[in-house]
Amino acid sequence: MVYTARSAETEVTPEPLSYMDTTEANYRQARIAHWDSLAQNMAGQIGWGGYYHQRLTEIYQFLVAPGQRVLEIGCGRGDLLAALKPTAGVGIDFSDEMIQRAKQRHPDLQFIQVDGHQLTETHQFTADQKFDVIIMSDLINDVWDVQTIFQQVADLAAPNTRLIINTYSRLWESPLALAERLGLAKPTLYQNWLTIEDTAGLLNLVDFEVIQTWQEILWPLPTPLLSNFCNRFLVKLWPFKYLGLANFIVARPHPQPQSTKPSVSVIVPARNEAGNIPQILSRVPKMGCRTELVFVEGHSSDHTYEAIEQAISKPTQHPCKLFRQTGEGKGDAVRLGFAQAEGDILMILDADLTVPPEDLPRYYEALRSGKGEFVNGVRLVYPMEKEAMRFFNLLGNKFFSLAFSWLLSQPIKDTLCGTKVLRKRDYERITANRSYFGDFDPFGDFDLLFGAAKLGLKIVDLPIRYRERSYGDTNIQRWKHGWLLLRMVFFAASRIKFV
Task: Tell me 359's DSSP state.
Answer: G
Q: In this predicted structure, what is the pLDDT of residue 325?
A: 93
Q: In this predicted structure, what is the pLDDT of residue 317?
A: 92
CB within 8 Å of 209: residues ≥ 6 apart: 203, 251, 252, 253, 254, 255, 458
Cα three-residue angle 399-404-407, rounded to 5 degrees: 130
pLDDT at 47 over 50: no
Residue 179 pLDDT level (bands cut at 50, 70, 90): confident
Q: In this predicted structure, what is the pLDDT of residue 403?
A: 77
For residue 465, give the nearest of 361, 357, 391, 370 by alpha carbon. 357
Average of per-residue pLDDT values in the chain? 84
pLDDT at 127 over 60: no
Q: Please give the domain boundaries of the chain with CATH numbers for all domains.
A: 21-253 (3.40.50.150), 264-497 (3.90.550.10)
pLDDT at 314 over 80: yes
pTM assigned to the model: 0.84
pLDDT at 157 over 70: yes
CA-to-CA dists, residue 88 to 85, 130, 284, 425, angstroms = 9, 11, 43, 20
- Compute the distance between CA of residue 421 and CA of residue 374 in angstroms, rounded to an integer: 6
Mean pLDDT over 435-451 rounds to 74
Residue 392 pLDDT level (bands cut at 50, 70, 90): low
Percentage of the chain beyond pLDDT 90 is 53
pLDDT at 202 over 90: yes
- Compute the distance between CA of residue 465 and CA of residue 263 in angstroms, rounded to an integer: 25
- Sign of the dihedral defined by the CA atoms of residues 174, 175, 176, 177, in that order: positive
Q: In this predicted structure, what is the pLDDT of residue 366?
A: 93
445-455 pLDDT tens trace: 778 888 898 89
449-484 pLDDT tens trace: 888 988 999 999 998 877 665 555 555 555 555 676
Q: Is 282 helix (H, G, I), strand (E, B) or coil?
A: helix
Mean pLDDT over 267-271 rounds to 94
Mean pLDDT over 26-41 rounds to 87
Q: In this predicted structure, what is the pLDDT of residue 383?
A: 61
Mean pLDDT over 301-305 rounds to 91
Q: In this predicted structure, what is the pLDDT of residue 77?
A: 94
Q: In this predicted structure, what is the pLDDT of residue 9?
A: 39
- Compute the distance between CA of residue 72 and CA of residue 137 in angstroms, rounded to an integer: 8
pLDDT at 199 over 70: yes
